Structure 1
Amino acid sequence: MKLPKWIIFLLIIGIGFAFYWYSIRPSSIRKECHQKGLEWAVQFVPFEKEPDIDKRDMLQDREYEAEYERCLRKNGISQ
């Protein structure tokens, strides 16, 4: 049985779209959100504002996680 060329073409396009949607898109969004989280954490708790390194790191980690999760939800990816 021979499939028409247009069906094969549509299958290839569909597989390509599925790969993009479930693999490439989430990966690029996570990278973008990671960068936004880092920028937000450093901006929220600047080095000069909090001299205690442990406390600053704890605050930056908390702010990073919050911004990262917010960004993921905004882009339609939840963990």
Structure 2
Amino acid sequence: MLATVGDRTLAEDLVAEAFARAWGVVEQGQPPPAPQAWVVRTAYNTHVSWWRCGSSSTSTPRPRPACWTSRRAP
């Protein structure tokens, strides 16, 4: 993720979010067939969603845009 986003703090946040989502999926009894790939792809998709919702720069991490947090499942 660090190579993709270029900012260590943002990369760490994205990976933490991906692991949190993975944990939720595993708790529901639906483990992904390729967990490592699933976590990486989830982190990447989270970054894309964050970027689409209004982040103009990844060099200055900002709070998540409201449009991103409002679409998340509880």
User: TM-score, normalising length from structure 2?
Assistant: 0.46
Greater C-alpha Rg: 1
The structure in which a higher percent of residues are helix is: 1
User: TM-score, normalising length from structure 1?
Assistant: 0.44
